[in-house]
Amino acid sequence: MQTVVMTALLSTAPHSILAETEGFVPLFNGKDLTGWKGLLAKPNDNPIKRAELTPEALKTAQAEANDNMRAHWKVEDGVLVFDGKGRSICTAKDYKDFEMLIDWKILPAGDSGIYLRGSPQVQIWDSTKHPEGSGGIFNNKKNPSKPIVCADNPIGEWNTFKIKMIGDKVTVHLNGKLVVDNVTLENYWDREKPIFPSGQIEIQNHGNTLYFRNISIKEIVQSK
C-alpha cells in the first residue's frame, strides 16, 4: 500500500521534486548554455558524417556551430529560448541508456522534437493541426510512429516529457500519460542498421520560437 501511495504522489509531483526524488541530474542549469553545443551545419548534422571528420575539421565546424547556438539560443528567467532562427542545440555529452525529463512550450504552429542519440525523434508540435498529438516517434517507418493518445496541453502552456531509452527501445510519457510504449527507434540516417549505441541528445527546431526548462537526465547502466 505504501508503495502505491508513493507512486501516486510522484506521478503528480512538481517536476523538480520528481527529478530530485528519482535521482535525475540537471542537463540545463537555468542560467546559461553550459553543457550544450550547437548542431553542426549540413552535411555534418548527422552522426555518420560527423564521425568521418578529422579532429581538426570537427573542431573548426564545432566552433562555428557554437557561435550559431549562442546567437539564437538564450536563457530568460530560467527558460531556454530559441528565437526561431539558426540550428538545433545538442548536449555536449553523448548518452547510451537513460531517462530524461524536459518541459516544453510552443506557440501556434510550433514544431520541434527531441533527437535521441543524434537521431530523430520524439515529436513536438501543435495538436490543433496534428490531432494525434506530440510524443510519437515521428520518423519510424516499420515500427509505430504515432502516440497512443493525445496528451498535449493547450498551446502556450507547459508540457512535460519523461523519455526512457534502453537499447533501441523508447518509452514516452507526456504530462503523466503513456504515449509511446517500448517502441523501437529506427536509424533514420541508415535504415539498414540499428540505432547507434550512444550519441548526443538534440533539441530540434523547425524555424519557430521554442521554450524549454527543467531539463534533467538519469543515466542507466545495464548489469552484465
C-alpha to C-alpha distance for 214 and 177, rounded to whole angstroms? 18
Amino acid at 128: T
How many helices (H) and strands (E) the chain has is answered by 4, 13
- Decide if 39 is inside a domain: yes
pLDDT tens, 40-76?
Answer: 999 999 999 999 999 999 999 999 999 999 999 999 9
H/E element holding 62? helix 55-72
- Decide if 18 is inside a domain: no
* Domain extent for 115: 24-219
Sheet strand arrangement including 119-125:
36-38, 89-95, 199-205, 111-116, 119-125
- On whether the CB atoms of residues 106 and 211 are closer than 8 A, the answer is yes
Residue 168's region, left for phi above 0, alpha for psi from -120 to 50, else beta, is: alpha
Determine how many CB atoms are found less than 10 A away from the CB of residue 82: 23
* 16 pLDDT higher than 90: no
- Decide if 137 is inside a domain: yes
C-alpha grid cell, residue 212? 524549454
pLDDT tens, 97-147?
Answer: 999 999 999 999 999 999 999 999 999 999 999 999 999 999 999 999 999
- Decide if 71 is inside a domain: yes
Instruction: Give the confidence band of 20 by pLDDT, cuts at 50, 70, 90.
Output: low
What CATH number does the domain containing 31 carry?
2.60.120.560
Query: What is the reported pTM?
Result: 0.91
C-alpha to C-alpha distance for 40 and 50, rounded to whole angstroms? 8
Q: Which class for 221: exposed (0-12), middle (13-18), buried (19 or more C-beta within 10 A)?
A: exposed
Instruction: Give the confidence band of 172 by pLDDT, cuts at 50, 70, 90.
Output: very high
- Decide if 224 is inside a domain: no
C-alpha to C-alpha distance for 216 and 220, rounded to whole angstroms? 13
- Decide if 4 is inside a domain: no
* 19 pLDDT higher than 70: no
Q: How many domains does the structure of the chain reveal?
A: 1
pLDDT at position 147 is 98
- Decide if 1 is inside a domain: no
3-state secondary structure of 116: strand
C-alpha to C-alpha distance for 95 and 221, rounded to whole angstroms? 11
pLDDT at position 64 is 98
* 14 pLDDT higher than 70: no
- Decide if 16 is inside a domain: no
Amino acid at 148: I
Instruction: Give the confidence band of 221 by pLDDT, cuts at 50, 70, 90.
Output: confident
Distance of CA 84 to the CA centre of its chain: 17
* 12 pLDDT higher than 60: no
C-alpha to C-alpha distance for 143 and 195, rounded to whole angstroms? 13
